[in-house]
Amino acid sequence: MTTALIEKPSTAQPAGAGKRARWRRAVPGYVMLLPFAGLFAGFLVWPLLNALYFAFTDFNGVRPPSWVGLENFRRLWFEDPRFRTGLVNSLIYVSCTVTLTTAAALALALAFRGTSWRDRVLRTIFFLPSVTSTIAVMLIWRWIFSGERFGLANTVLSWFGADPVSWLSTPHWTIPLLVVMAVWGGCGYGMVIFVSGLNAIPEELYEAGRLDGASAWQQFCYITLPQLKPVTTYVVITGLIGAFQVFEAVYIVFRAVSSVGGVQDSGLMLVPYLYDMGFTKFQLGYASAIAWTLFLIIFVISMIQLRVTRALREL
């Protein structure tokens, strides 16, 4: 009855009047979007396009940029050993961080998915690092891994009679420390997403599984994990983008022992390298090429991830 009432006038009206009415209804929405659209265009689209242009120029920030075509990309991809170091470090760091963060987040979500006070409090505690000032957190990590005897890690070692370790100035420790920091800081956020995903899985599926005699592990493998695929995809892709963009951990924590990138570039990642080339060495054109290369890498990996997930879903 209601449908008929709504449809009747629309069929009776001429086509032009319907369009005008729709337009009139839409205008306030578009007007309200304008402030965001302006900011989006001014602070995201415009800088992006500028960076794309600068990537094809030799620009030092002060003198006018000069067009060099693909030279920056050629140098970056075929001649720059620091870029290769940064890329390899980034790939190792991203794969370790995303895998461990996702696994830890899922484990935490399974453990604390309930509505009891204990679960709520623990979820809050695990989520806290996500909303704490990054700089403050990084300064604490710097203290924890200080090479001096008062550093927390070295204090713990001293209880067992071990000599202090120069954590931050020993290259083979750099990536593991960065991964530890990232997993600690990121698993709480992933946990919250997983909890919402877990609570959205219909209970009937588990009931049916139990009736069929499925064990807890089988329920997890054949009900929980498949049902969590969209959520897992989201957690993995956002984690991957965040991990590729790591900067503060490298810049702040390892600042105590070296310039950008950690000792012997052992912690050099793509964004710190971009910063180094742009703001230390004034090669803003080259830095823009790094930025767009980073974008392409993230874009391609995300696309692959989405395709793989879709293919798995269709199996």
Partner 1 sequence: MMHRRTLAAALATMLLAAGCTTTGTGTTPRQDAEGPAELLFWNTGSDEQAAAMQVAADRYKELHQDVTIKVQAIAWDDGHAKVLTAATSRSGPDIVSGGLSWGIEFGELGGMIDLNGYDVSQAKQQTRPELWNSITSPGGAVYGIPMDMTLYVFYYRPDLLQKAGVGAPPATWAELFTAVDKLKASGVPTPLVEEWGTFEWLPWFNYLKQAGGSLYSDDCTQVTINSEQAVLATTTWADQYRKYGVPKATVDVGAGLAKGEYAMAIGASYLAGGFDSGQPELKGKWQTAPLPTGPAGAGSFVGGKIVGAMSYTEHPQAAADFVKWLYTDEAVEILQREVFTRGGELYISPRPELLAKANASDNLRQTLQTTLNSVTGPPNCKGWETSGAEVSKRLQAVVNDNADPRTALAEAAAVMQGNLG
Which amino acid makes up residue 248?
E
Question: What count of other Cβ atoms lies within 10 Å of the Cβ of residue 41?
Answer: 11
> Is there binding between residue 23 and partner 1 (CB under 8 A)?
no
The site map against partner 1 for 95-134 (x = CB under 8 A) is ----------------------------------------
Task: Give the span between the Cα atoms of 69 and 57, in whole angstroms.
Answer: 7
Closest CA to 194 of 101, 98, 105, 128: 105
What residues have CB less than 8 Å from 153, skipping those under 6 apart? 144, 145, 146, 165, 167
Q: Which of 75, 134, 255, 305 is close enough to bind partner 1 by CB under 8 A? A: 255
Q: 116 vs 122, 123, 150, CA distance in Å? A: 10, 11, 39
Residue number, 29 or 81, with CB nearest to partner 1 = 81
Q: Does 30 bind partner 1 (CB under 8 A)?
A: no
Tell me how far, at minimum, the Cβ of 17 lies from partner 1, in Å.
Answer: 21
Given candidates 61, 114, 176, 230, which one binds partner 1 under the rule CB under 8 A?
A: 61
Residue 60 interacts with partner 1 (CB under 8 A)? yes
Q: Does 168 bind partner 1 (CB under 8 A)?
A: yes
Q: Measured from the CB atom, is 155 or 166 closer to partner 1?
A: 166
Q: What x/- string results for residues 128 through 147 when contact with partner 1 is judged by CB under 8 A?
A: ------------------xx
**What's the rounded Cα separation, in Å, for the pair 236 and 312?**
15
Q: Which is nearer to partner 1, 51 or 246 (CB)?
A: 51
Work out the angle at residue 193's Cα, subtended by the Cα atoms of residues 189 and 198, and round it to the nearest 5 degrees: 140
Cα–Cα separations (whole angstroms), residue 205 to 109, 199, 217, 242? 19, 12, 14, 34
Among 8, 39, 280, 296, binds partner 1 (CB under 8 A): 280
Choosing from 30, 32, 259, 312, the residue that interacts with partner 1 (CB under 8 A) is 259
What per-residue string of b and e applies to 126-157 under the rule 16 or more CB within 10 Å gives b? bbebeeeeeeebbeebbebbbbeeebebbeee
Q: Which CB sits closer to partner 1, 43 or 46?
A: 46
Least separation, in Å, of the C-beta of 98 and partner 1? 28
We find the least distance from the C-beta atom of residue 251 to partner 1, in angstroms, to be: 9
Give the per-residue contact string, 36-55, with partner 1 (x = CB under 8 A; - = no). Answer: -----x---xx-xxx-xxx-
Rg (CA), the chain: 26
The whole-angstrom separation of Cα 130 and Cα 305 is 24
- Could you list the residues that contact partner 1 (CB under 8 A)? 41, 45-46, 48-50, 52-54, 59-65, 146-149, 166, 168-171, 255-260, 263-265, 279-282
